[in-house]
Structures are given as C-alpha cells and as structure tokens.
Structure 1
C-alpha cells in the first residue's frame, strides 16, 4: 500500500498491517521513530501517478463524456497512443 508523508501515522500503519499489506510510506521528517520504506517502490508509484495525471489532461477522459464503457476504453486507448507518440 502506497501513501504520501501525510499518511505516516500509527492508525494508518495499523490499518495497512490489518489488511495484510506492506506499507510504502516515506517517514514524516518530525517522526521520532521513522519506519523503514522502499524508495524504489515509491519511485515506481510516482511514475504511475504521473501517467494518470497525463491521461487526465485529456478533457474527455477527465470529465467522462462517453456513455458506454466500450467508448470510454477506446478513448483511453487513443489517449495512451497519443502520449506514447509524444515521447
């Protein structure tokens, strides 16, 4: 389970452990006992969030103009192709 520094609290850590997941949350700078975290997994999370942010730049995707799931998935595919071609 991934989270930002704002989610570095004991209740959040306990809830994640209760779900049986591993928390990847960087410690808050003021925390007395910082927990260990995997910075490589956190960087991968950032890459995924950046990809979703790029998809949200397409107005039709961000506002969900399409009525059916089929046409929405086609719009997502087209947006991914446009993003890929920009590289």
Structure 2
C-alpha cells in the first residue's frame, strides 16, 4: 500500500496521476521548442530557458561608462574633478572615468560658479590653447604653468600659484570619509551624493565661524 499512493489517489478521485505538460501548455508551447529556436530569434517568453541576459532582453551588456569608471595608471577607478574657491572650499564637482584627462572637465566646471573668479589656478593638465583662450574671453587670469613640450614659453604668476595647494588639502579632507577615498558605490549619483555630504561637513565649519 505504501509503494503506490499515486495509483490509489487516481482510483479514489478518478484523476490522472500526473497531467500532461504538453497538453496543458505549461511551458508556453511544445516541450521540444523550449530547448531549440529552429534558427529563429529567441523571443522574450523563452527568457527563463536560456543563459542569463540583460533584464530588458536587448542583448546589450551594461558597460562601465555609465558608472564613471575607467582604466588609468592608478588602476580601475574614477576621477573626481573639483573647483574650489580661494579658501579651499569646494564649489563644484564633476565625475569622469579614471582615463579621462583633466582638461576635459574644464567646460563643465567653468560654467557652474555664480560669479566668475579673478584668476584660475590649475596644474599643467589644463595647459591647452583652447582653455587659455576661453579664460581670456572671460577676463580671467590664467595661472597655469606651461608644459615641458610647449614650443613657446608662457609665464605665470609663481607667487599666486603657491595657493593652489589649497585644493590638494581640500581633497585630503574629503578623503577622510572612507566612502569618498574608496568608492564602493556602483552608480555615479550615489557616489556624488557621498561627496556632497563630505563637502557639507567642510562648509559647516566656515558657516559656524561666520
């Protein structure tokens, strides 16, 4: 009696032991079609019977470009560009991949401040003719040292350029926060949110001092 409970249930309720999947269309079609597409494109209803693909079924892989990640000499990381004032307080941020050059963030950062600065202090990464011409059109003094491979020598205010270490100290204060020093966030919006919170902590000290 214990070895054939399915047969007893079939006789008692007058029901078949196991209903046919092919007749019930339990898999959306013939059973043999679940493993073969007969040379046709696989449709979305067969999504669960094949290896993993993007959730939208578009066949396109999600790359790292949308996460602002890239390969640089320091490894696989992202680069945070910042514009600070004369007192070393962050004013604007721009996030790119680690392989992006510094000068690529100039067009974005120069438009963000409400007031145009009197001078722009930047390193040799911003030494391009286009940036110097744009600063001249905005009546902003370019305090940028010339690159070693530049043919024509361009002088800059060395005394004023010494204040550029203020932004380096500002980055050191931001990196006290572990979430900023080591990026764990997958999306750039969440990472920039942590950067803005760290920047608020710096600004609060000046607000209370005022």
- After TM superposition, the score normalised by the length of structure 1 is 0.65
**1:54 CA displacement:** 2.4
Match of 2:168 in 1: 50
Partners of 1:52 and 1:8 in 2: how far apart? 22
**1:12 CA displacement:** 0.8
CA RMSD in angstroms, aligned pairs only: 2.5
Partners of 1:28 and 1:65 in 2: how far apart? 32
Task: Say whether residues 1:27 and 2:146 are aligned partners.
Answer: yes
Post-superposition CA distance 1:29-60 (Å, at most 9, x none) = 011112110112111111x1122122112217
Equivalent residues, number: 71
Ranges of 4+ aligned residues in structure 1 off by more than 6 Å? none
Gaps of 5+ in 2: 1-119, 181-193, 206-210
**1:64 CA displacement:** 4.9
Asked whether the equivalents of residues 144 and 156 of structure 2 are also in contact (C-alpha less than 8 Å), the reply is: yes
Match of 1:14 in 2: 133
- After TM superposition, the score normalised by the length of structure 2 is 0.30
Task: Choose from 177, 189, 194 the match for 1:59.
Answer: 177
Match of 2:121 in 1: 2
The structure whose RCO (Cα within 8 Å, separation 6+) is larger is 1
Gaps of 5+ in 1: 67-71, 79-87
Greater strand share, 1 or 2?
Answer: 2
Mark the structure with the bigger radius of gyration: 2
Asked whether the equivalents of residues 5 and 26 of structure 1 are also in contact (C-alpha less than 8 Å), the reply is: yes
